[in-house]
Structure 1
Amino acid sequence: MKKILVLLALGFSMTGIAQENEAISFKKNELKGNALFLVLGAVEATYERIITNDSGLGISLFFVSNEDDFDTNFILSPYYRAYFGKKQAAGFFVEGFSSISTGVENKIYYSDSNGNVDNIDKDRYTDLALGFGIGSKWIHKRGFVFEINAGIGRNLFSDNSPEVIGRGGITLGYRF
């Protein structure tokens, strides 16, 4: 009888169902470039790390080589995104961002009624802004990324910086 009980216990233990923790693996890194700014003469590169299926952290770097084209010549902007799409970290998103920016405020004084410039003063600024944005991201099955986004923020400290800043673009990249 003992042998039968031992064999039954051994048989049940071998046929027992064990729960396995299956790790979900997906591509978590993205490198992107803003095609809209590239056409306008500036460069914006972005790195995003996907945290979960519906959130990500990123940092964006914007700069221009010719200060005459843009008032702002450098922006470093970290952000957090919450995604609402069906695919992993894709679809409609809402983001909160901050940005540290430097640039030049041009003060122009006119001397006559013809519009001839008498004096141009340039005041440099560095400022911190907080803002929010919305957008949408599409992911190709091979990892290519297409994104459209827009946002608005407010500079907090400098009197020489623009009071309101914009953020946005048409972005192309790759997820790996």
Structure 2
Amino acid sequence: MKKILYLLLLLTFATQAQETSGIIDKKNEIRVDVLSIIAFSKLSVSYERFFSTDYSVGVNVNYANSNKLNDDFDLGYRNNLPKFEINPYIRYALSKSKTRYYFAEIFGSYNGGDFKEIIRVTGMAQPDYYITKKSSYTDFGVGGSLGYKMYFHDAFALEVLVGFGSNLFNTDKSPDVISRVGINLGYRFK
């Protein structure tokens, strides 16, 4: 009876070791944000590199050029139109499991797009009038995020992420708040 019990314990430990070692050996991951595509017509792709069981670094790239966003900008519903965003980040796993865990992240954001403002033109020989002036902006911001990630079959990832930050330098033209909100599908590989 003891031999059977020891054998069952050994098999349990062996299967757990195989499950966790499969995911730990894979150090790279690429993801696509399906929420951004569906809700915001924005392409968002991420790459993440795992350095230990708790720490990873990565970069997220966003690009938006949809008719809906452009129409809202042209019709005056918004005064800035974010076009691109590059977000390097550092993550720390808050849970012990390597296949399902919560994480915290600190990110930077290099972002840019178009800005529109209405300015008053004063003339000596004619009455004052208003024109719409379009220009572009770039800015850098920092922020933090929290999220949850789970793996299926030691390779396929589902990630939910919510985070916010603030632009720092060109705040008269760039958006005050930058966000990292998404539902990502990904693939982890060696």
Q: TM-score scaled to structure 2, two decimals?
A: 0.70
Given the alignment, which residue of 73, 94, 97 partners 1:84? 94
1:32 counterpart residue number: 31
1:5-44 deviations in Å (ceiling 9; x for gaps): xxxxxxxxxxxxxxxxxxx951110000000111131100
Deviation at 1:93, TM superposition (A): 0.5
User: 1:120, 1:41 → 2: CA distance?
Assistant: 26
* Paired residues of 2:99 and 2:154 also in contact (CA < 8 A): no
Match of 2:84 in 1: 74
Match of 1:133 among 126, 133, 145: 145
Q: Counterparts of 2:35 and 2:88 in 1: how far apart (Å)?
A: 19
Q: Which runs of 5+ in 1 are unaligned?
A: 1-23, 110-117
2:17 aligned partner:
none
| Alignment-derived partner of residue 174 in structure 1 | 187
| Contact 2:146–2:162 (CA under 8 A) maintained in structure 1 | yes
What residue in structure 2 maps to residue 41 of structure 1?
41
Partners of 1:29 and 1:85 lie apart in 2 by: 19
Matches of residues 104-123 of structure 1 in structure 2 within 5 Å? 104-107=114-117, 119-123=131-135
Bigger-Rg structure (1/2) = 1
Counterparts of 2:176 and 2:27, CA distance in 1 = 35
Percent identical: 34
Letter of the structure 1 residue corresponding to residue 143 of structure 2: G
Report which of the two has the higher share of helix: 2
String of CA shifts for 1:116-172, please: whole Å, max 9, x gaps: xx7433231000001111111011124100000011111111121112211110000
Q: Answer whether contact 1:56 1:89 (CA < 8 A) is retained.
A: no
Matches within 5 A, 1:139-158: 139-158=151-170
Q: Which has the higher contact order (CA 8 A, sep 6+)?
A: 2
Partner of 1:87: helix, strand, or coil?
coil
Q: Give the alignment's TM-score, normalised by structure 1.
A: 0.75
Secondary structure, counterpart of 2:66 in structure 1:
coil
Determine the structure 2 residue equivalent to 1:160: 173
Structure 2 unaligned residues grouped into runs of 5+: 1-22, 71-80, 120-129
**Deviation string for 1:65-108 (max 9, x for gaps)?**
33761611000110000002233274111000001001112335
Distance 1:121 1:90 in 2: 49
- Equivalence for 1:63: 63
8 Å contact 1:67–1:73 — kept in the other structure?
Answer: no
Q: d(CA) in 2 for partners of 1:67 and 1:126? A: 21
Distance in 1 between the 2:65 and 2:173 partners?
Answer: 21
Amino acid corresponding to residue 74 of structure 1 in structure 2? F
